[in-house]
Structures are given as C-alpha cells and as structure tokens.
C-alpha cells in the first residue's frame, strides 16, 4: 500500500478553514465506515451457516472470504472522505446558535 500525502494548501484552497475541513472529512469518514459496516453485515447475513456454532472450527467459507476480500480491497473511508472533500462533493454548514 502506497502512501499519498495530501498538501494542506490544497484543502485550504477549497475550504475557509483547514481544521474545520478536516473535521468535516472525519465525520464523513465515520458515515462511510458505518455504511460499510451495515452493508458488510447485510451481505454476511445472506450467507448460509454450517449449522454448528463451534468457533474452534477453522472451516473457510468461500462466499464469506469473497465478501471479506471485496471489502478489504475497497478504498479506506478516510481516503474516500478526503477525496470527496477535495472534489467539493461534501456540503456543510454551520449550526445557528439558538
């Protein structure tokens, strides 16, 4: 896995405040991660189980392995969120005080 540094000046060009933009990206990253968890659990629930609840067995389920590999090869949530921020796909606004 290669590391691609992101210049903070690029973020600064697209946002009024770099630190607020990073917070927005982190919140979006959490949303993406939660969506991925829900999707992963939904896909796992469609796989038939072997009928034994013995955790000590090391039987590989090819369908489960395929799903796991698919999710591992996806782009990480924080990278997705930063890309969305840099492509101006994330809209955010400030809450108005009461």
**pLDDT score at 58:** 54
Please tell me the distance from the alpha carbon of residue 23 to that of residue 35, in angstroms, as a whole number: 19
The radius of gyration of the chain from alpha carbons, rounded to an integer in Å, stands at 19
Helices and strands, counts by H and E, the chain: 4, 0
Instruction: Answer yes or no: pTM beyond 0.95.
Output: no
Place of tokens 């796989």: 47
**pLDDT score at 97:** 83
**pLDDT score at 70:** 92
Residue 85 CB-density burial (10 A; 0-12 exposed, 13-18 middle, 19+ buried): buried
What are the φ and ψ backbone dihedral angles of 97, each rounded to 5 degrees? -65, 145
Residue 4 has pLDDT above 90, yes or no: no
Torsion, Cα of 84, 85, 88, 92 (10° steps): 110
């Amino acid at each position: 896995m290669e590391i691609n540094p992101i210049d903070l000046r690029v973020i600064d060009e697209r946002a009024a405040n770099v630190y607020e933009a990073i917070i927005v990206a982190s919140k979006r990253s959490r949303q993406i991660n939660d969506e991925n968890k829900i999707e992963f659990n939904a896909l796992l629930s469609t796989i038939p189980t072997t009928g034994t609840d013995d955790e000590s067995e090391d039987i590989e389920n090819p369908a489960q392995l395929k799903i796991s590999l698919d999710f591992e090869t996806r782009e990480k949530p924080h990278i997705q969120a930063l890309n969305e921020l840099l492509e101006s796909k994330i809209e955010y606004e400030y809450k108005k005080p009461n």
